[in-house]
Amino acid sequence: MKICIIGQGYIGLPTAALFTTKDCNVVGVDINEEVVNKLNKGEIHIEEPGLKEIIKKAVAENKYHASLTPEKADAYIITVPTPYISENYSCDLSYVKSACESILPYLEKGNTIIIESTIAPMSTDNEIKPIFENEGFTVGKDIYLAHCPERVLPGKIMYELVHNDRIVGGITPECSKKAIEVYGQFVEGELMETEAKTAEMSKCMENTFRDVNIALANELAKIGAEIGVNALEVIKLANKHPRVNIHTPGPGVGGHCLAIDPYFIYAKAPETAKIIKLSRDTNNSMPDFVVENIKKIIPEGKIAIFGLSYKGNTDDDRESPSYEIIAKLENLGYEITTYDPHINPDSNLNEAIKDSELIVILSDHDEFKELDYDLIKEEMENPIILDTKSIIQDVPKGITLYNYGNLYELQG
């Protein structure tokens, strides 16, 4: 089977790689010429364990190549971004529609088209299906259209694409069956058949559920700082209850899913989805909360930011709150240095902390869990660490540690 995948990012490229392991011929389409050239050399542009080896092998065996334009194929998979429109929080389908339009010259009867990009409920029926119908195709008879959202964790994508259960939402039952035939080549998890609109809502609600629960943890952190309670200790003890699982608070919510997808539901029913919107507002407020506490720790000076990616041990910095925090600090006149070995492998710890007055941890990379405290004390006169990810358990004498358990000490 030949597969054409539009979009060679964090989902499209790993998906392409896995199809090549099942003897599929795969063309990966991307609008970035630099990315295309790199991929055709067997090199990857994202950090994901296990991906580089498969792509290098697939290119060498002529099972994979990248292109700026689509080609004729048996199945087309769309994995392009879907941002939200800031004016009304609705799903911006422009990239998805453009991708669908790009394959029209190559489309033939019997082809399967799968939308993996996360989209608002009813998008496949109302917005995407007409693109193909206007070309004379009957969906469910001539071609087969389905929405099959991914549900993977950066850093474990190669494993989870294979082993996680997968929602397959067809426009018709036959569309679902055709999409299952495509994914069944490498997916070992359950392929769950449903309608496209149900698949769309399910994916949005999966991420909304997580966003709402993170918002509860972040709100608890704020309350603890305000009234003088150790929020981290509260979470630890409350989670001893067999049916309680309070999440860990952080500096804000990033990524292309949790920070965006809840808006797609809210935009459909703004008068009803009040909890969803309030949760988004709470999580969006966390960069301000971090900055306000930094101002209490040091009113001016040099700050070393540890971590730019939104997710630990990856280079994925999409929608990362780190950049908003940095921008706000720079606007206040702070001197900022950054250290993130995943985003910038050449970044230097010594240079980042030299003469800094404060280290702010914004990503939960493993490299930050066991820091060189002797070096920190050597390079910083009165070392202070603000750990917004709650990954440092203890620090040696001579270093001050703040986290969401003791921010109340800064009040007043």
SS (H, E, C) 281-329: HHHHCHHHHHHHHHHHHCCCCEEEEECCCCCCCCCCCCCCHHHHHHHHH
For residue 11 the two structure tokens come to 């989902």
- All domains in the chain, ordered by first residue: 2-203 (3.40.50.720), 286-410 (3.40.50.720)
Q: Is 97 a catalytic residue?
A: no
For residue 194 the two structure tokens come to 């449903």
pTM: predicted TM-score of the whole model, two decimal places: 0.92
Select which of 203, 204, 311, 389 is catalytic: 203
The backbone torsions φ and ψ at residue 296, rounded to the nearest 5 degrees and listed phi first, read -75, -30
Select which of 129, 257, 311, 389 is catalytic: 257
CA–CA distances in Å: residue 40 to residues 18, 23, 63, 70, 317:
17, 18, 11, 15, 24
CA–CA distances in Å: residue 347 to residues 98, 155, 272, 308:
37, 21, 46, 12
The length of the chain, given as a count of residues: 412
- Give the model's pLDDT for residue 412: 65
> How confident is the prediction for the chain on average, in pLDDT?
96
- Residue in 362, 412, 349 with CA at minimum distance from that of residue 392: 362
Q: Is 148 a catalytic residue?
A: no
Residues of the chain with pLDDT under 70: 412
- Local structure of residue 363 (DSSP, 8 states): S
